[in-house]
Amino acid sequence: AQSVTQLGSHVSVSEGALVLLRCNYSSSVPPYLFWYVQYPNQGLQLLLKYTSAATLVKGINGFEAEFKKSETSFHLTKPSAHMSDAAEYFCAVTRSYNTDKLIFGTGTRLQVFP
Amino acid sequence: SQTIHQWPATLVQPVGSPLSLECTVEGTSNPNLYWYRQAAGRGLQLLFYSVGIGQISSEVPQNLSASRPQDRQFILSSKKLLLSDSGFYLCAWSGTGVLDEQYFGPGTRLTVT
């Protein structure tokens, strides 16, 4: 069965610092992985997705994630945090091959300090 | 362009009362539709999904139900709310292609008192 684990429910960084949000997955089939962002009291917005075309995936707002099969990881990074990046971030994996039913992690809340 | 609406935005209901949350999608046809619940510290839990009118799959046994009376309308209901039903309910839609992105509505904050 597929699952994702997000390490760290809260991450705090200073403005301009590197953002690193961790996601590890478990999957018995080749996974498709996603990162979503949720701003307070809003729905989720797709940041990026990995669909096996390239291991380094670039998304919106300067975020990127690298798929590492050997580490079963799909960590989200951004070189320089901005105050507007403060939000909750969710990693997700498809539940089975060739479907779009997603299994979400528990989320990581990112705080950005000036 | 496609848009997804949910209402109400917030709702406070007493235990034992009924529930009806509505989700509608505009600008697309025959979408896949989803209901998720988000509880604090627990991420998003898929409750129901639908691939067509009248076709509902339940992911988690509970006292909630879903219906899809029209192609772009998805309703979440309960006959009697429990305290544990409190949470943030999100509706989403996707196309029917492989790995089509899911687009989320603004959500409904439900508090059961």
CA distance between the termini of chain B:
38
Condensed to tens digits (0 to 9), the pLDDT of residues B18-32 reads 999 999 999 999 999
User: Which amino acid appears at position A110 of this protein?
Assistant: L
Chain A hits for B104, CB-CB cut-off 8 Å, are 36, 43-45
Q: What is the pLDDT of residue B21?
A: 97
Q: What is the pLDDT of residue B98?
A: 67
Q: B40 touching A, CB under 8 A?
A: no
Q: What is the pLDDT of residue B42?
A: 73
Q: What is the pLDDT of residue A17?
A: 98
**Contact state of A104 with B32 under an 8 Å Cβ cutoff:** no
- CA dist list (Å): A104 to A1, A21, B9: 13, 14, 23
Q: What is the pLDDT of residue A53?
A: 76
For residue B101, the 8-state DSSP code is P
Q: A31 touching B, CB under 8 A?
A: no
Chain A hits for B7, CB-CB cut-off 8 Å, are none
Nearest to B46 among A36, A44, A101 (CB): A101
Which segments of chain A are extended strands (E)? 3-7, 10-14, 19-26, 33-38, 44-50, 56-58, 64-68, 73-78, 87-94, 102-104, 108-113
Chain B hits for A105, CB-CB cut-off 8 Å, are 43
Q: What is the pLDDT of residue A99?
A: 55
Q: What is the pLDDT of residue A97?
A: 54
Q: What is the pLDDT of residue A96?
A: 58
Average pLDDT per block of 10 residues along chain A, 114 residues long:
88 97 86 91 90 88 94 96 96 70 90 96
Number of cross-chain residue pairs from A and B with Cβ atoms under 8 Å apart: 52
**Contact state of B92 with A43 under an 8 Å Cβ cutoff:** yes
Q: What is the pLDDT of residue A41?
A: 79
**Contact state of A9 with B90 under an 8 Å Cβ cutoff:** no
Mean predicted lDDT score pLDDT of chain B: 91
Q: What is the pLDDT of residue A51?
A: 83
Q: What is the pLDDT of residue A102?
A: 84
The residue of B2, B57, B98 whose CB has the most chain A CBs within 10 angstroms, and thus the best one to mutate to test that interface, is: B98
Residue ranges in chain B modelled with pLDDT below 50: none
